[in-house]
Amino acid sequence: MNETLRIERRTDRVTAVLDRPEKRNAIDQRTIDALHGLCAELEAEPRTLILTGAGGDFAAGADIAQLRARRADDAHRAINASAFIRIAELPMPVIAALDGYALGGGAELAYAADIRIATPALRIGNPETSLGIMAAAGATWRLPEIVGAGRAAELLLTGRILRAEEARDWGLVSALHPAEHLLDAAHALADRIAGNDPLATRHTKLALRAPRSEHPDIEKTLQAELFENPEKERRMTAFLERKEAR
């Protein structure tokens, strides 16, 4: 059976391609299982993750054929939500590179990323209520954090699909690139991240994700660790000596 998640590994990053183009990369149980496997790998060996889709789409939702058969017990198991939470909590940054449809669970997977970029063909939104369900894999709490409560309510309560320019204007994606340059743009972001200190990056992500009540204590603890890290000494000395050599 073909893999629904194609994974390409490098020393400092992993690219995961949702690869079920004949179903617009709809996220089925096999994809969720593969995402859990990928998370286990990246929890053990932290690297930047680039998430993207094959065939000109990111993902047109959770797999509706599987969703139709799910019952209350399945809702309580939070099948998609638990995988997307694990992705959001990965130690290193997650970059979503979006083309075409990013709908329903596909949009929620994108909301779990730290950075989203897209092509002008992006169509993103949450039409769940049109199918008699609600967006329950992160949209109701992550989307307000990304675009603000009012805009999140409009999207989730109407099911309206945003076009790329509007998604960029709302800050839902940070930049648009032609489809042929989308992955290069994602790798350029990963290159920038790779040039920085990994522990400082991981601590910054932890602080970004911490609830308000944990600030500023969390920064004190994390920065204290970085101040004692030899890498800080090395990087700052390199900076200062470069200046003195001029």
Residue 106 bears catalytic tag? no
Nearer of residues 21 and 144 to ligand COA, judged by Cβ: 21
**Contact region with ligand COA (CB under 6 A), list: 31-39, 123-131, 196-204, 214-222:** 123-131
Residue 233 bears catalytic tag? no
Catalytic residue among 60, 62, 107, 139: 62
Using rule CB under 6 A, residue 138 touches ligand COA: no
Using rule CB under 6 A, residue 64 touches ligand COA: yes
Residue 110 bears catalytic tag? no
Catalytic residue among 128, 139, 152, 185: 128
For residue 168, the minimal CB distance to ligand COA (Å) is 20
> Measured between alpha carbons, how far is 18 from 27 in angstroms, rounded to an integer?
8
Nearer of residues 70 and 209 to ligand COA, judged by Cβ: 70
Nearer of residues 132 and 195 to ligand COA, judged by Cβ: 132
Using rule CB under 6 A, residue 155 touches ligand COA: no
Using rule CB under 6 A, residue 26 touches ligand COA: yes
Residues that contact ligand COA, how many (by CB under 6 A): 16
Q: Which of 63, 79, 112, 142 binds ligand COA (CB under 6 A)?
A: 63
SS3 for the chain, per residue? CCCCEEEEECCCEEEEEECCHHHCCCECHHHHHHHHHHHHHHHHCCCEEEEEECCCCCECCECHHHHHHCCHHHHHHCHHHHHHHHHHCCCCCEEEEECCEEECHHHHHHHCCCEEEECCCCEEECCHHHHCCCCCCCHHHHHHHHHCHHHHHHHHHHCCEEEHHHHHHCCCCCEECCHHHHHHHHHHHHHHHHHCCHHHHHHHHHHHHCCHHHCCHHHHHHHHHHHCCHHHHHHHHHHHHHHHCC
Nearer of residues 103 and 162 to ligand COA, judged by Cβ: 103
Write out the residues near ligand COA by the rule CB under 6 A.
Answer: 23-24, 26, 60-65, 101, 103-105, 127-128, 131
Catalytic residue numbers, as ranges: 62, 105, 108, 128
